[in-house]
Amino acid sequence: MKIVSRNLLIFALLLFIYTILFRFGLGELLTAEKWAWVIIISVVYGAMIFFTAWTTGKRDGINNFLFDAGFRWNLTTFIVWGAASEGWFLLGLHSAHETIRVVHITLLIWSGFLILHLILFLILRRRTIKGIHKTNIFE
Partner 1 sequence: MKTDDALHKELLSAWEETYKKGQLTLWIFLSLKEGPKYVSGLQESIERFSKGTIHAEEQSLYRTLRKYYHLKMVDFSAGKGHKGPDRKYYHLTPLGASLLQSFVERNIQLFFEEPLKELLLNDSITAKK
Is position 137 an interface residue for partner 1 (rule: CB under 8 A)?
A: yes
* Nearer to partner 1 (CB atom), residue 30 or residue 132: 132
Nearer to partner 1, 59 or 104 (CB): 59
Query: Per CB under 8 A, which of residues 51..70 are in contact with partner 1?
Result: 62-63, 65
Nearer to partner 1, 90 or 137 (CB): 137
- In the shown chain, the binding pattern of residues 97 to 136 toward partner 1, with x for contact by CB under 8 A and - for none, equals --------------------------------xxxx---x
Cα 22 to Cα 79: distance, rounded to the nearest angstrom: 16
CA 20 – CA 14 distance, rounded (Å): 10
Quick one: how far is CA 73 from the chain centroid? 6
Q: How near is the Cβ of 132 to partner 1 at its closest, in Å?
A: 6
C-beta of residue 14 within 8 angstroms of C-beta of residue 52: yes
Between 63 and 95, name the residue whose CB sits nearer to partner 1.
63
Shortest spacing between CB 129 and partner 1, in angstroms: 7
Whole-angstrom distance, CA of residue 115 vs CA of residue 102? 20
Residue 4 within binding range of partner 1, rule CB under 8 A:
no
SS3 of 49-102: HHHHHHHHHHHHHHHCCECCCCHHHHHHHHHHHHHHHHHHHHCCCCCCCCCHHH
Count CB atoms within 10 A of the CB of residue 126: 7
Contacting partner 1 within 23-52 (CB under 8 A): none
List interacting residues with partner 1 (CB under 8 A).
1, 62-63, 65, 129-132, 136-139
